[in-house]
Every structure is written in C-alpha cells, then in structure tokens.
Amino acid sequence: MPADPSILISEACERHGSSPEALLQVLREIQEVQHCISAEAAQQVAAALGQPLGRVLGVAGFYAFLSTTPAGRYRVLFSDNITDRMLGNMDLLAALCEKLWVERGRVSEDGLVSVDTTSCTGLCDQGPAILVNGWAIPNVTGDRLGLIAELILAKVPVENWPPELMAVQDNIRRRDILLNHGLAPGDALRSAMGRDCEPGSPVEAAANERSWREGIPSGALCAPMATLEEIKRSNLRGRGGAGFTTGLKWEACRNATGPDRYVVCNADEGEPGTFKDRVLLSRHADLVFEGMTVAAHAIGARKGFLYLRGEYRFLLAPLNAVLARRRSENLLGLSILGQAGFDFDIEIHLGAGAYVCGEESALIESLEGKRGIPRNRPPYPVTHGYLQRPTVVNNVETFCAAALIAKHGGDWYRGIGTEKSAGTKLLSVSGDCARPGIYEYPFGTPVCQILADCGAENTQAVQISGPSGVCIAADEFDRRIAFEDLPTAGAFTVFDHSRDMFEVARNYTHFFAHESCGFCTPCRVGTAMLRNTMDKIASGHGTPCDLREIERLDKVLQMSAHCGLGHTACNPTLDTVKRFRPAYERRLKSLEFEPAFDLDGALARARQMTGRDDAGAHLSTEVSE
Amino acid sequence: MTDTFLLDGEAVPFAPGQTVVQAALAAGRYIPHLCYHPEFRPHGSCKVCTVKANGRNATGCTLPAQAGLEVESETEELRALRKTLVQMLFAEGNHFCPSCEQSGNCVLQALGYDLGVMTAGFRHFFPDRPVDASHPDILLDANRCILCELCMRASREVDGKDVFAFSGRGIDKRLIVNAPSGRLADTNAALGDKAMDVCPVGAIIRKRVGFAVPIGERRYDKSPISEQALADAPRPSEHNGGGA
Ligand code: SF4
Ligand code: SF4
Ligand code: FES
C-alpha cells in the first residue's frame, strides 16, 4: 500500500480507466485498503472520475461491503443463511464478540475489529462460514475461531493467515456431461469456428446478410451463424432461474443494431443456498470463459465481463490467472486462434455485496459503476444493455453448457433431459444431509432421488431454488427438477423434522428486507413490514391478523413490485404457512389483535444501563410456547 | 392517423413515444400517479400508476402506449392497490399532516383523500431522520421524503446541478445532498432552482412563505387531485408528449 492514500486512490482510478464505470471497482479497492470510504476519499474519486460527490456517496451507501464510516481494520462477517444458522453461527458469533470484547455491529474502541452478519456467502456445504475483510473462511468451529481471534489480536494481515483456514472445498458428488466434459481449453472454440453451414442454406444466406463482424472475408461468415443455429437447436435455457431460451437471446443481440456488443457472465450468485457457480469458477473456469468466447464469436462482441460477486473475492486472482493463460494461448485477445478480426477479451468486475445485482439489468447498472437498481423494461439488455449497447447476459452454468453445445452440437444436447428442459442441471445441495455439495443431474430427476443420493434422512421439507423458489413438503418429493415442474437456479436446501419451518421463513424474510434495493415503494416498505411482522410473531405477539397482513403484503408485492425480488419476497412465508401451519399457530395469540409494542422490551435499555437483569428487572410477559 | 389503445374500455389516442399515463392525461383521462411529472423522464418507482395491460400489471407511467393495448385502471383491485401503496408511504416516513406546511398542497395527502385512505392501515416505522435547516432559504425535512426522485431529476435535468442523491438501500434508503458536510447549505442549491419546486410532499420547503396561502384555500383544498391533474396536463396542441 502506498503511504499516501491519495496516491493509492489516483492509481486505482487510473488502473480502471478513470471513467464513471470504474466507480464501484475503485471504491471497492479503497475500502479493502482503508476499511472506509472517507469523505476525503469520496471527494477525490468524484473529482478523478468527473462525478458528483452525491453519486459517489450514493454508490458507497448502496453496497453492503462498502462503508462511509470506518469499519474495523478486521471486519468479520458471519454468513447468515438459514443453513449457517442451523450449524450454530449465532452462538459462534456471540463467542467471538466475547473473545474480542466487541458488541455485534459496532467497531471496537481501538478501531481494530467489528463483527456482524452478512447474507449467504455461498459456502452452505461447508458452513458456518465467515468473511474476514472479504476473504472467505469455511467450516468455522470454536477452535478455528480461537485461532482467528488470536490472529486478529496479533494484527496479522489476513493475506498471511494459515492457508488451511481459507481452504474452500469443491465437494463435487455427482458428475454428468458438464462436470465430466473432458474438453481441453480451445476445443469448443475450434469446433465453433470450424463449423460450416450447407451451401445455399438459409443459415448461409443469413450469415452473408449480417456477419458477426461486418467485413470479414467470406468463408469465415458461416461459422458464427452455424453455431448460433446449434445453440438454438439445443433448446438450451438460461440456468439463472428465469429459463429464457439462450439461442433466442443471442440471436436478438446479434440482430440488434449498434456499434459494440457485449457478453456478460453473471457470476453474482447470491441466492441463499446456491454455490454451484463458485465450483464451476474454481474448477472449470476455462469452460466458462470458453462459453463466453463462443458467444462473442456468435454475436460479434469484442468485450466481455465476468461480474463476480464480492463474496467470491478469493477467486479473483486464480480467475485472472486463467484469463492471462488464455491470452497467451491466443484463446483471448486479438485475432483469436489466428482468425483475423476475431478480437475478444474478458474483464472481471467484482461486486460489493448486493443480491439484487443478480437481476440482469441491475447487474448492468452495477457494471456501469452505479447503484444496482433494476431498470425499467423495455428496452431489454439484448438491445440496450451495457452502456445502452446490445448485451447478452447469461449465467455461469449457461456459458458452460453453450461451450459443450459448440463442441458436440445441438441435437446431442437436446437428447438429454426432458422435452422442455434440455440438458443437465447443477444443484447446490446443503442442509440436513450427509453429503452436501454439487450434484449434476439430467433435467427430470425427481426430488426423492436427490434426497437419497445426498444422504438426507427424515426430511421434512426442501427449499428448491432458494427463498425466491418454492418450499415443498414430503408428499411432493416425487416432483421433478425441470422447467415443467420445479424450475431452479440451483439451490436445494434440505430440512429434516428437527427444524422449525417458521424460523426458516423468518430468516428468508430478513434476507429480502436486507437486500431490497429500495427503488420501488411496495418492495422497499413491504419487505420491511414483512420482516417486522415475522419478528412480531416470533416474539409471541402475533395473531391471525398478522397472517392476513402478510397475505395483503403479498398481493401488493405481486401486483406492483418492480422486479423479482419483490415479487417473491412473501413466498417463503406463504409456502410454509400453507404446508406447515402448526409452526405458526403455536406462536399466535388467539386474540384478533395484539400490539407489537413490548412493554418489557422497552425496559431493555434501562437494564443495560443499570447492569441489572434479574427477575425483578423484568415485567412479566407470557410467551405461548 | 392516430393510433389508439383502450383504457377501461374507451379508446385513447396516442402519439408515438408516449406512455400510457402521458397519453391518458393528454386525452383527459386520469390515472393516479405520484413519481411521474410531465416535465421529467418517467421513473416508475412509486407504483401508484400501476395498471393492468393485456392482463399483466405494469407501471402506466413507463409503459409505452401501443395500438390495441387493453388497459384497466379504475378497477376495485387497482384502487385498493393504490390505496395500500399510499398507506405504505405514510407508514414509512413521519407524516404529521396537521403540522406540515405543505398540507393542502401535498400530492401524497391529496392522493390519500382521493383514494379514500381513512386509516393508517399499517404499523408505522417512525424512522429517525434529521431535519436539515442549514440553508438560509430552504428547509429539508427528510421525514416527509417519499423517495420519488423528482428533486434529483429536476436538479440534474433542468438545473444542471446534481444537488440531491440517494444513499442506503431498502428501508434505509435516504435522501442525501452533494456536500462533504452533508448539509444543504454547503451545496450550490438555490431558491430559484427547479428542484426546489417539484417536491410533491413537504420534504423541500421554502422558508418564510409557509402560510402565505392559508390552509383551507390551498391547491387540493379546492378540488380533488384527479381534477387538477387533468387541468394541468399538457394538451396535444401545446405539448408533443414529452420524452419517454
Ligand atoms: S422490487 Fe425491490 S429490489 Fe426490485 S426494484 Fe423494487 S425495491 Fe428494488
Ligand atoms: S425530497 Fe421531495 S422530491 Fe426529493 S425525493 Fe424526497 S419527496 Fe421526492
Ligand atoms: S407514477 Fe408511475 S410509478 Fe410512480
């Protein structure tokens, strides 16, 4: 670190091209070194990037990993997904606070350390997990926390902590065509570039009408169109959850008019319980980048971005190394594999803690260095994406599948899976099972088979596709993973009969309230109301009235929220009320109305100040158990 | 030749580039709205203008008008939705209408009357938001800010100043100003700015003029917002529909 912070800042701005789009990347780097975006730093960045200060502060205030007041020099964040909870993260958090003599959510007096929670960090198969200054540490136990506390007190830089603390496992349990792909770097790309179309075919005509890079000598024209045809023929649908047909998306982008086109890989895997993209990026980065390059070839893009969630900071250096190697192998860069005019390169952008950026238009805003607010649509990213240029945004797994299709062809791919769901799906299995980890199945696999394979016993419920998906009970375990039945972005979270499904739903409502971007009224206010109502029920003050209020909130969110976050925020609650009603009813007071105000709770501050917590310092409140 | 779409069963003509709300207003049909303002680019955040278009819900202020579109607006369901959204905004901030200078001139309040908001409907959040009285001529009371972004749009698009911005997210989202001190007095805000004019509620208040017009004789005391919005609406003759 340069001694003078202003030099650090100007270097960071220059390294990122001193454009407005650099804002988030620059702020993230400043935060990493200075643990804060100070007013001075913000002003300097604003001046260097030619942005109003208010915008810089607005971005700094949007992302969870940035802070405008000093965070501790060691910022410890406990992943707070329901699976981390089930593994005891809250007790561990309390223990660490005690060891370090800090209060949760506050910075210690000497500015050394702060301890708090964060949304799911994508290590559910090896939780409880924490982030220390952005670096992931899985499998936290009392012993490991003891060591961590010592390292912090001894002020050892996180980069120098014992590597075994930071070792993240891949836990691949079942492989199919993707995880067993056997491709060497460049294989898929060579197939794509060598693919020909029949002379006189419509494909050839279309290719000549509009090449992937106008002005390429004929002969090279056919391959991109032919590959696009294979992607369309494969019936590949996006693996990020929504399931839009990939071939149509690429085609729309290719056909859009505009000077530049972009390929964006969405690696902002934020859905609680999902971690398959993490494993693909650590094990199969070449395949991911190859898929992006195939897309660039097909649509005619020169530039690509991998948008990596901040929680996967630890993958940044290895991924950059893969990119560098691919450049040296001429799989990226100018005249890729010797084809004049085929220029493409990939840059990695790191997020800074915002689930909503997984929504493709919010992700694009974030790539542009802004607050991650989903855009109004139309227009769609395929025509007006990054910098208002035609842009293809696909999930990590989608690009891997596209690379396989480029190699083996569309018919091959389409033959796997079900009619409406071609191919395989990676599942991130976690929760109550003997073998959590990554499982790859052909679409159409029933839930009960997955439960058997992962060693789940006595299963009460499975949350499919995380909180924004569905929660199913035992009588539905013959349902299948497929777009026709249970569509999923990948999370598969198992709960056995010892779990309280009310608490599961409550955890998810906290997640949504924390991650709402706050753009639209229904979601900004509604998710906070939902969270408060679930807390009211948890504290024993709930009534049937509150359940009706949740239904009312759901209606409002469904009808008017701006994006999927708001639309799905009430799902976990409604799903569990429907299937596990007793978990709610035993908490409800039978009265019609009960105020949320808690008389005894109001005295908590007085108890804290007087240091008294005996029975006489409490008003009696009966909590129905 | 003008194209038309159907609004609650009646044909509404529109010009290319107009949104559903713009075309409706120009044709003398009111769709309740809050963050939309004819002089600024539609924003689509308050969701009060939500309509059902060909069976799907959409924000009327951002939805491009299209020939043949069937739009429902004055239905029981949508009225109930709008009412709930207004109640949510009341619950989110601290709106003590009787003590607010903007009373009678306030769009939120007027919408509340129009939509028949008679009760709070939700538990209030009672947020702790500071008042910024630092500027000699302007008072910022964030307690009443409904995060409509109109001041930001006006400051950027008309005044060329960027005085206002948002920070935080979710329920913690809040208005900030463009000064290292965080105080309005340390920005280049001026009384004559468009931004000081557009706030639909009592969050941006000009000092010393509060009761120049007495309560009871104010804008929405005279006739409901639905009528006034139509009276103000740009008509095709004088306005070509604004930018979408
Ligand atoms: S639904 Fe929520 S997350 Fe989506 S735009 Fe609205 S406030 Fe933001
Ligand atoms: S201050 Fe007024 S104009 Fe600005 S966002 Fe708040 S309510 Fe809207
Ligand atoms: S007026 Fe359309 S969303 Fe606010």
Q: Is the pLDDT reported for residue A20 higher than 60?
A: yes
Is A525 within 8 Å of B57 when comparing Cβ atoms? no
Q: What are the chain B neighbours of A371 within 8 Å (beta carbons)? A: 166, 169
Mean pLDDT in residue range B58-63: 96
Return the exposure string of B176-203: e unless at least 16 CB atoms fall within 10 Å of the residue's CB, then b.
bbbbeebebeebebeeebbbbbbbbbbb
CA distances from residue B127 to A194, A608, B130, B171 in whole angstroms, order as listed: 63, 23, 10, 10
Mean pLDDT in residue range B154-169: 96
Mean pLDDT in residue range A572-593: 89
Q: Which atom of ligand 1 is nearest to A516's Cα?
A: 3
**What is the residue with the minimal CA distance to atom 1 of ligand 1?**
A566
Report the separation in Å between the CA atom of B31 and the middle of ligand 3, taken as the mean of its atom positions.
10
Chain B's closest residue to A59, CA to CA, is B167
Strand, coil or helix: what is B173?
A: coil
Q: Residue B115 corresponds to which amino acid?
A: L
The reported pLDDT for the residue numbered A224 is 87
Mean pLDDT in residue range B116-131: 92
B86 Rama class: left (phi>0) / alpha (psi -120 to 50) / beta = alpha
Half-sphere exposure for A593 (CA within 13 Å, toward CB): 3
Chain A's closest residue to B188, CA to CA, is A52
**CB of A557 sitting under 6 A from ligand 1:** no
Mind listing the pLDDT tens digit for each residue in A241-266? Answer: 889 999 999 999 988 887 789 999 99
Task: Give the pLDDT band of residue A201 (cuts 50, 70, 90).
Answer: low
Lowest mean pLDDT among A128-132, A620-624, B8-12: A620-624
Q: How far apart are CA A391 and CA A374, in angstroms?
A: 15
Interface test with A, best of B171, B175, B176 (most A CBs within 10 A): B171
Percent of chain A with pLDDT over 70: 94
Mean pLDDT in residue range A377-393: 95
Is B169 within 8 Å of A354 when comparing Cβ atoms? yes
Q: Is the pLDDT reported for residue A13 higher than 50?
A: yes
**CB of B86 sitting under 6 A from ligand 2:** no
Q: Å from B214 to nearest chain A CA? A: 31
Q: What are the chain A neighbours of B164 within 8 Å (beta carbons)? A: 54
Cβ(A319)–Cβ(A308) below 8 Å: yes
Q: How far apart are CA B13 and CA B23, in angstroms?
A: 7
Q: Is the pLDDT reported for residue B75 higher than 90?
A: yes
Main-chain phi, psi angles of B7, to 5 degrees: -120, 115
Of residues B145 and A222, the one with the higher pLDDT is B145
Select from B42, B173, B178 the Cβ nearest to the Cβ of A524.
B173
**DSSP label of A293:** H
Lowest mean pLDDT among A129-133, A290-294, A341-345, A450-454: A341-345
The reported pLDDT for the residue numbered A610 is 84
Return all residues near A8 (Cβ < 8 A) that are at least 6 apart.
A1, A2, A29, A30, A33, A34
Q: Is the pLDDT reported for residue A352 higher than 60?
A: yes
Query: How many beta-carbon contacts under 8 Å exist across A and B?
Result: 122
For residue A509, give both structure tokens: 């409502």
* Prediction pTM value: 0.93
Return all residues near A47 (Cβ < 8 A) that are at least 6 apart.
none
Q: Is the pLDDT reported for residue B243 higher than 70?
A: no
Contact with chain B for residue A518, Cβ under 8 A: yes
Ligand showing the shortest atom-to-Cα distance for residue B51:
3
For chain A positions 233-272, those within 8 Å of chain B (CB to CB) are: none
Q: Is the pLDDT reported for residue B237 higher than 60?
A: no
Q: What is the ipTM of this complex?
A: 0.94
Is A42 within 8 Å of B180 when comparing Cβ atoms? yes
Which residues does residue B192 pair with via DSSP β-bridges, in sequence order? Answer: none
Mean pLDDT in residue range A224-233: 92
Q: Which atom of ligand 2 is nearest to B166's Cα?
A: 5
**What is the residue with the minimal CA distance to atom 6 of ligand 2?**
B145
For residue A506, give both structure tokens: 């409550």
Mean pLDDT in residue range B125-145: 96
